[in-house]
């Protein structure tokens, strides 16, 4: 039973390695080709903050200091050349940034 499990694990790792290499070669090929299918893109999205309030209420607000954020991404399944995949950046852009209200145990009283 252990040898079957070990073989399945090795085959899975080998398939993932082959898929990663193919994905990387595909990105390199598109980089060298004319600009028909550019593998890199810039995603611009608003920075939405998720601010908790009393009573489990949540307020959503646009970040006043930097309302828009841009991130360079690569059109692939895996990260390459230090860039995240575009499918991951688009998913991340849809989620608001959670903010946490931290209360200090030793707050000063204003007398």
40 pairs with which residues across the strands? 74
Within a domain: 54 = yes
Q: What is the pLDDT of residues 54-111, one digit of tens each?
A: 888 988 888 888 899 999 999 999 999 999 999 999 999 999 988 877 766 665 655 5
- List the helix and strand counts (H, then E) for the chain: 2, 6
The stretch 35-56 carries a mean pLDDT of 87
| Distances from the Cα of 5 to the Cα of 12, 17, 21, 73, angstroms | 11, 18, 24, 36
User: Per the structure, how many domains does the chain have?
Assistant: 1
Per-residue pLDDT at 2 exceeds 80: yes
Within a domain: 60 = yes
Q: What residue numbers bound the domain in which 75 lies?
A: 2-98
Within a domain: 62 = yes
Contacts of 39 (CB under 8 A, 6+ apart): 26, 27, 30, 31, 74, 75, 76
Within a domain: 78 = yes
């Amino acid at each position: 039973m252990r040898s079957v499990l070990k073989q399945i694990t090795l085959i899975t790792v080998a398939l993932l390695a082959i898929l990663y290499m193919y994905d990387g070669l595909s990105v390199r090929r598109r980089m060298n080709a004319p600009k028909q299918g550019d593998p890199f893109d810039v995603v611009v999205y608003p920075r939405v903050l998720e601010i908790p309030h009393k009573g489990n209420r949540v307020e959503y607000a646009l970040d006043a200091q930097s309302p828009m954020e841009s991130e360079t991404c690569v059109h692939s399944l895996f990260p390459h050349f230090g860039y995240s995949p575009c499918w991951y950046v688009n998913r991340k852009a849809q989620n608001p940034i959670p903010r946490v209200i931290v209360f200090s145990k030793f707050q000063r009283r204003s007398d």
